[in-house]
Amino acid sequence: MISYVIINQSEVSSLDFDTVLNTNSELLRYSLDGSQAIVKYEGTQPFDLLGKTEYTEESIKDVVSGLEWYDLDAVI
């Protein structure tokens, strides 16, 4: 099962992209103000993301439908 977490932009540079499904920082979904990003992974929560709130695909869609994430051209 694929899970999602939201991280602060300041955490992106220390993220181990070998442990998540996003292959680099350019492929993350960022909030409109650029302060947060969505990371997706499969299976156990990677060490870099421990303690972060996990979202299912359905629940992350609810989050990104909010004004701070809304972007018609973006995909999760």
pLDDT by 10s per residue, the chain, length 76:
999 999 999 999 999 999 999 999 998 999 999 999 999 999 999 999 999 999 999 999 888 888 788 665 555 5
The whole-number pLDDT of residue 46 equals 96
Q: What's the whole-model pTM score?
A: 0.87
Taking a C-beta distance cutoff of 8 angstroms, is the pair 16, 53 a contact? Answer: no
Q: Cα separation of 65 and 76, whole Å?
A: 11
The whole-number pLDDT of residue 70 equals 65
Residue 45 CB: number of other CB atoms within 10 A? Answer: 14
- Per DSSP, which regions of 10-71 are E strands? 29-30, 36-42
The whole-number pLDDT of residue 38 equals 96
Taking a C-beta distance cutoff of 8 angstroms, is the pair 44, 24 a contact? Answer: no
